[in-house]
Amino acid sequence: MWVPTLTFLLFTLSAICYGDNPGAKIQVTEHGLKKGVGYLLSKIKGNNTEYLLPDVAGSENIASEEIGYEFTQIRIEDFHLGSASSQWAPKTGMHVSMENGNATITCNWKLDSWLIKDGGSSVLTLTGLSISMVLGIYRSDPGVPSISLVECQASVLNVDVQMMGGVSYIIDNIKQPIQDVVRKTVQQQLCTALREQVKKQDQSFSHLNLNMSLNRHVGVDLSLVGSPEISDHYANLGLKGFFHSHNESHSEASFSPAPMTIPVQDGAMIYVGVSQATFDSLASSYYSAGFMTFLVSHMAGSKELTTTELAAYVPEISQHYPNPAPVEIQMEATRAPLVSLLANNMTVQFGGLLQTYANASQTKVENIFSVDVVVSLQVTFKLSEAKGAHGLNLTGSVEFVRLQIEGSQQAITAQKVVVAESGVQQLFHKVIIPVINENLASGVFIPTTFLKNGSVSIEKGFAVLAADLQ
């Protein structure tokens, strides 16, 4: 039924952690819960799915006679949940209730007593259906969500039974008592059926693997680090948030995110906090997987550069290249980039080898200079709705903060010239950063069908994505 899908909300929550701090947190506000529950219920309302319910049999004293009854082939033909409301249930999970629903059920019936032996088919119309339940949300080993039906109450205001087949004068006499039996049975069965569904869903959660692969090279561990922290106004779910590359036995022990508290706001439906430690593990995993070498001259937006133009930034080279020759620039990380987050300020520190080459002739490529640099760039992100597709468009830009040449340049033997720090800074400023910005501005498409109106803000130690559910 609809309960399994309800629980998708588990993936959109944040947590208290006994033990490790979460690397990422998801906070779902009341607004988010309402939207999520409403959306799921509306989807189910549209479904004219037939549910086969278990047979019901028993006996009842009707008109001072013990009559055995049996309802088989019970099908819910039509089901309206009525108006739903939902709240967070502090420390437990969520409270969902539905009022004034109705259902049309078909079944076969059989009555059996010493006086009556009769049977046929029937249509039951249930109105004034109400369900109130509390769904508990926990973490279970090894870091997957677990749910249970903590409380459930169901009531049916009115039942109308239309019995086809059978002898009508008998049916007229027993109709009211039969309706009472059906009402009582449905009230009991609804919660039993819900409990079964919740159990099934809980079982499927236990097979989840939240330590998953993103691609052939990199994986991310999004296991829950603790049970959800649930208050009146929001639920917080804490996730490990650790990225790792597959070909490197990364010391997970060095991953220790600082505690983070997402500021309580209620403008958006969900807030996702991502710690500096998680960003660092992301950078580190891509570095380990060998993704941190950039041929600047082959990147989009790069202009063809010659030794003559390069000499404008690093005059030291001019005497070696009287004739202009095409230039190649390559940046290669020599360690994992470091991310630093301050209020409204995300800075990435990139330590790497900057190399320039001249195509002196068709066959001769020579190294002009190579320097180890540490460059700091301030990064700004913007999220917008993607054009022409469901999802978000993440665009960014970088600003030059500083660059230093590291170590002794003389150690690099192949190079032709030794250049000054100011020249390399100029080269970065005027040539490399515009290329990076051109690439960041074209945007990265994030195919998310359930998030919209996203925005990113940077706090001390973490970034926050605020978004609404679709």
Ligand X SMILES: *[C@@H]1O[C@H](CO)[C@@H](O)[C@H](O)[C@H]1NC(C)=O
- How long is the chain? 470
Cβ distance to ligand X smaller for residue 69 or 139: 139
# chain residues binding ligand X, by CB under 6 A: 44
Q: How far is residue 224's CA from residue 239's CA, in Å, rounded to a whole number?
A: 5
CA-CA distances (angstroms) from residue 143 to 99, 261, 266, 304?
A: 35, 21, 28, 51
DSSP string of 319-332, one letter each residue: GG-SS--BEEEEEE
Q: Is 278 in the site for ligand X (CB under 6 A)?
A: no
In the complex, what is the shortest distance from the CB of residue 228 to ligand X, in angstroms, rounded to a whole number? 19
CB-based contact 94:33 (threshold 8 Å) = yes
- Per CB under 6 A, the list member of 303, 323, 361, 387 interacting with ligand X is 387
The 220-249 contact track toward ligand X, x by CB under 6 A, reads -x----------------------x-xxx-
The 7-46 contact track toward ligand X, x by CB under 6 A, reads -------------------------------------x--
Q: With CB under 6 A as the contact rule, which of the stretches 90-98, 165-173, 213-221, 405-413 interacts with ligand X?
A: 213-221
Q: Is 282 in the site for ligand X (CB under 6 A)?
A: no
Q: How far is residue 143's CA from residue 241's CA, in Å, rounded to a whole number?
A: 12
Helix (H) or strand (E) holding 36: helix 30-45
Q: Is 351 in the site for ligand X (CB under 6 A)?
A: no
Q: Is 366 in the site for ligand X (CB under 6 A)?
A: no
Q: How far is residue 45's CA from residue 410's CA, in Å, rounded to a whole number?
A: 73
Segment 329 to 348, residues that bind ligand X, using CB under 6 A: 340, 342, 345, 347
CA-CA distances (angstroms) from residue 268 to 51, 97, 354, 391, 460?
A: 36, 23, 43, 17, 20
DSSP string of 199-224, one letter each residue: HHHHHHHHT---EEESSSSEEEE--B
Helix (H) or strand (E) holding 73: strand 65-80
CB-based contact 28:36 (threshold 8 Å) = yes
Q: With CB under 6 A as the contact rule, which of the stretches 6-14, 107-115, 217-225, 412-420 interacts with ligand X?
A: 217-225
Q: With CB under 6 A as the contact rule, which of the stretches 31-39, 84-92, 387-395, 414-422 interacts with ligand X?
A: 387-395
- When CB distances to ligand X are compared, the closest residue is 290
Cβ distance to ligand X smaller for residue 90 or 267: 267
One-letter amino acid at 194 equals L
Q: Is 434 in the site for ligand X (CB under 6 A)?
A: no
Q: Is 395 in the site for ligand X (CB under 6 A)?
A: yes
| HSE, side-chain direction, 13 A CA sphere, residue 126 | 30
- SS3 of 147, please? strand
Residue 95 is encoded by which pair of tokens?
A: 């409270």
Segment 189 to 208, residues that bind ligand X, using CB under 6 A: none
Q: Is 293 in the site for ligand X (CB under 6 A)?
A: no
Q: With CB under 6 A as the contact rule, which of the stretches 88-96, 214-222, 309-317, 414-422 interacts with ligand X?
A: 214-222
Cβ distance to ligand X smaller for residue 175 or 217: 217
DSSP 226: S
In the complex, what is the shortest distance from the CB of residue 167 to ligand X, in angstroms, rounded to a whole number? 27
Q: Is 448 in the site for ligand X (CB under 6 A)?
A: no
Q: Which residues fall within 8 angstroms of residue 221, CB to CB, at 6 or more apart?
A: 210, 211, 212, 240, 241, 242, 243, 244
- Per CB under 6 A, the list member of 326, 360, 426, 438 interacting with ligand X is 326
Cβ distance to ligand X smaller for residue 125 or 130: 125
Q: Which residues fall within 8 angstroms of residue 209, CB to CB, at 6 or more apart?
A: none
Q: Is 466 in the site for ligand X (CB under 6 A)?
A: yes
Cβ distance to ligand X smaller for residue 201 or 409: 201
CB-based contact 325:306 (threshold 8 Å) = yes
Q: Which residues bind to ligand X, rule: CB under 6 A? A: 2, 44, 47, 49, 80, 102, 125, 127, 211, 217, 219, 221, 244, 246-248, 267-268, 288-290, 297, 326, 328, 340, 342, 345, 347, 359, 365, 378, 386-387, 393, 395, 401, 441-443, 445, 453, 455, 466, 468
